[in-house]
């Protein structure tokens, strides 16, 4: 069963998942929190009653982004609520329904090196009580990302980062405002969703096919004063993202989230088992002959 779960995770979560683990009860208290590692997926945890809460503890480095999400277990529709606590038992983030359906999703930037705890609660229990939990913590390098040549690398999707354009330089002449850069590799034709949120400056986001050139797409509206960009059917290849203000005096703090909607796996074709020279051999029904 564990092998089957790992295969399922590899097919449907190829970048994020590293291990499938099970929930251990009791874990209602902080001291009983199940240990997980960044990249793990807790498979089919159960909230047995409205009074049952689950806790999971994991370690991160300062500056890493924490992405925690509940999602369905075998089609379940459990209504979850998640709370993220720091190592002083203080609440740092709460989310109800930002995940798929009635599931939850938290994104948060770690402010210290140490452990955090995620609490999962059932808002209501009406039939479904199972859920999967994924904890993902991208680690980032410390390049000067206000220069396109040293853009901050997006290692995998989904990606979340909190930054600022204040004090940065204007490396590419999109607008006269200071800009910062991110670089990612798109492994297959995908729909790319880029959300820049800001309450401090009027932001613009662009996708480029090379440093300061080969313009692909841009947006300047959405998420407060930020911008929400959807680039459909983006071809395989390397790309750069620019975040900047709409005018020279527009600078400040922002958050960016990048999500890739990649194509699913192709439908598997039938195979036949034949015996050749006394040995088993797998082939395709339409094959006219075998090469071995």
10-residue mean pLDDT profile of the chain (292 residues): values are: 35 49 93 94 90 93 88 92 95 93 91 94 83 85 76 90 89 88 93 95 95 91 95 94 94 94 75 70 61 47
Are the CB atoms for 168 and 251 separated by under 8 Å?
yes
Q: What gap in Å lies between CA 196 and CA 205, rounded to an integer?
A: 7
For residue 288, the model assigns a pLDDT of 54
**pLDDT tens digits for range 142-152:** 557 888 988 99
pLDDT at 11: 34
Burial 94-125 (b: 16+ CB within 10 A, else e): ebeeebeebbbbbbbbbeeeeebbbbbbbeee
- Domains recognised in the chain with CATH numbers: 2-136 (2.60.120.380), 148-261 (2.60.120.380)
- C-alpha to C-alpha distance for 90 and 270, rounded to whole angstroms: 54
Rounded to whole angstroms, how far apart are CA atoms 90 and 101? 27
pLDDT digits (tens, 9 = 90+) for 207-222: 999 999 899 999 999 9
Query: 272 is written with which tokens?
Result: 């036949």
């Amino acid at each position: 069963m564990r092998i089957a779960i790992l295969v399922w995770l590899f097919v449907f979560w190829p970048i994020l998942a590293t291990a499938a683990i099970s929930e251990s009860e009791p874990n209602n208290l902080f001291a009983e929190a199940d240990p997980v590692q960044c990249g793990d997926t807790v498979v089919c945890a159960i909230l047995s009653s409205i009074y049952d809460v689950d806790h999971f503890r994991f370690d991160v480095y300062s500056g890493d982004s924490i992405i925690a999400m509940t999602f369905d277990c075998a089609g379940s529709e459990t209504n979850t609520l998640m709370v993220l606590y720091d190592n002083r038992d203080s609440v740092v983030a709460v989310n109800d329904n930002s995940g798929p359906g009635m599931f939850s999703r938290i994104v948060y930037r770690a402010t210290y090196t140490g452990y955090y705890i995620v609490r999962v609660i059932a808002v209501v229990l009406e039939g479904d009580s199972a859920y999967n939990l994924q904890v993902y913590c991208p680690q980032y390098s410390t390049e000067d990302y206000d220069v396109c040549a040293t853009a901050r690398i997006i290692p995998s999707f989904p990606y979340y980062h909190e930054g600022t354009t204040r004090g940065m330089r204007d490396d590419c002449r999109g607008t006269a405002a200071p800009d910062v850069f991110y670089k990612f590799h798109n492994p297959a034709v995908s729909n790319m969703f880029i959300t820049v949120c800001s309450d401090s400056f009027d932001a613009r986001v662009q996708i480029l096919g090379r440093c300061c050139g080969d313009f692909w797409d841009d947006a300047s509206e959405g998420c407060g004063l930020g911008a929400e960009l959807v680039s459909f059917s983006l071809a395989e290849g390397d790309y750069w993202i620019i975040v900047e203000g709409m005018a020279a005096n527009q600078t400040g703090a922002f958050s960016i989230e990048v999500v890739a909607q990649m194509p699913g796996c192709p439908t598997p074709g039938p195979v036949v088992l034949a015996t050749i020279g006394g040995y088993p051999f797998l082939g395709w029904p339409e094959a006219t002959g075998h090469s071995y």
